[in-house]
Chain A
Amino acid sequence: MSFRTGKKDNSYRPGQAGPNKAGNEEDFDKQMAFNFINSKIFALPNTKTQKHKNTSNMRFFLPLTLSLLLFACTTDNTGVKLYEEAMTVHDEAMKDMGEMNRVGRELKAKVLTLDSTAADYATRKVAYDAALQHIEKAGDDMMSWMRDFKKPTELTSKNAVEYLQKAKTGIADNAADIKAAIEEGKALLK
């Protein structure tokens, strides 16, 4: 490959007779180094013509380089951060799912032991049913969130950031609801 033209150069290989007819690896390396130095990007201002060319190259490459640097500096990782934060909240909430279901099973078992002839039976039954519904809903919401969540392919796009922000808020609300359902159930089990 020629550094100057970017085209494949089959005429010159180590150990073969090349442009300088030397035909050894050392010469090949020298030739390649020469090509490299004289390539468009790394050209040295040896002549007036080259100087003129390089100035126009600079006009082109300098703003491009600065734009790229500016872009690199201003492109934040908000999307990546949001995704990781949402997943952390999700994983923590999933740990609570086991406990929430455990509390639910204990509530169901305790409902069966309630004295249906007691004066406060109806009130207590309503409270137990409400707590069990809360547990059911919080669990369903978690599963719905996971089913609906689709990781954006491009995390840095504006749409992705907005989507991830909503997703993070959604899972955070669900995580708080799971904890609330656990507390509601535990209060009845005391």
Chain B
Amino acid sequence: MRLLFLFFPLSLLFFAACQSGIDNKPLPILGNRDVVNGDTIYPSIPDFAFINQDSQVVNNATFADKIYVVDFFFIHCPTICPKVKANGLRVYQKYLNDPRILMLSHSIDVKNDTVAALREHARKLGIDAKKWHLVTGKRDEIYGIADDYFSIAKEDPEAPGGFDHSGRLILVDKKRHVRAFCDGTDAQDVDRFMKDVDRLLAEQ
């Protein structure tokens, strides 16, 4: 009986240790890696330069020493984007006062989503441009970098990938590696994603 009393709290401790171990494990670096001369090369996001809602240039330097959350949208999107933005706002609110993390939303409707339109959209969302950049640029460059993000952030590593208007939120680390993603239309998946953000922040 005494042994039973001892076994119960010990097993609880063991279980808790295992659980915390899972949470503290570093997030994997996503994408197909190459090995060159014995070095593992992970896919990373290339250089970019876009214009945000405050007419400011947003490029890699903007995100230097930051982790950031990426998505692709357009203001007049009738179905997916409003759900993604609602969940994006939850991420924004949670990390609003954490200077280690930023957000970056690219508009794929470069003709209609002008800087003025993006500024108005940001005002309606009530977001700060220093924290959450809504950007526009050349159509090919936006779609091009979307392919870069989406070819890494995909369920099936062997699938071709590329931008697919799926409403994904993508987490990028300081070295421009994609570390996690979620379905931005699914509140529960976004909850799980925010735990991944916490894990990445903990390992930085």
A associates with B: yes
Q: Give me the interface of A with B, judged by CB distance under 8 Å.
A: 87, 90-91, 94-95, 97-99, 101-102, 104-105, 108, 139-140, 143, 146-147, 149, 151
Of B77, B109, B139, B150, which is within 8 A of A101 by CB?
Answer: B139
Interface of B, helix, strand, loop or mixed by DSSP: loop
Rounded to whole angstroms, the CA-CA distance of A94 and B74 in the bound complex is 11
Chain B residues positioned under 8 Å from A91 (CB to CB): 79-80, 165
B8-48 residues with Cβ-Cβ distance < 8 A to A are: none
Chain B proximity of A77: nearest CB distance (Å): 19
Asked if B112 contacts A147 (CB within 8 A), the reply is: yes
Say which one of B52-60, B95-103, B123-131, B141-149 lies at the interface with A: B141-149
What is the chain B residue whose CB lies nearest that of A83?
Answer: B78
Q: Give me the interface of B with A, judged by CB distance under 8 Å.
A: 74, 76-80, 108-109, 111-112, 139-140, 143-144, 146-147, 150, 162-166
| Inter-chain pairs besides A90-B78, A94-B80, A105-B143, 13 sampled, C-beta below 8 Å | A98-B150, A98-B163, A98-B165, A99-B162, A102-B147, A102-B162, A104-B140, A105-B140, A143-B112, A146-B74, A146-B78, A147-B112, A151-B78
Asked if B165 contacts A102 (CB within 8 A), the reply is: no
Of B74, B76, B112, B164, which is within 8 A of A98 by CB?
Answer: B164
A-B contact pairs, 20 of them (CB 8 A): A90-B79, A91-B80, A95-B164, A97-B165, A98-B146, A98-B147, A98-B150, A98-B164, A101-B163, A102-B143, A102-B162, A105-B144, A139-B139, A140-B111, A143-B111, A143-B112, A146-B76, A147-B109, A149-B78, A151-B78
Asked if A143 contacts B164 (CB within 8 A), the reply is: no
Chain A residues positioned under 8 Å from B111 (CB to CB): 140, 143
Asked if A146 contacts B162 (CB within 8 A), the reply is: no
Chain A proximity of B82: nearest CB distance (Å): 11
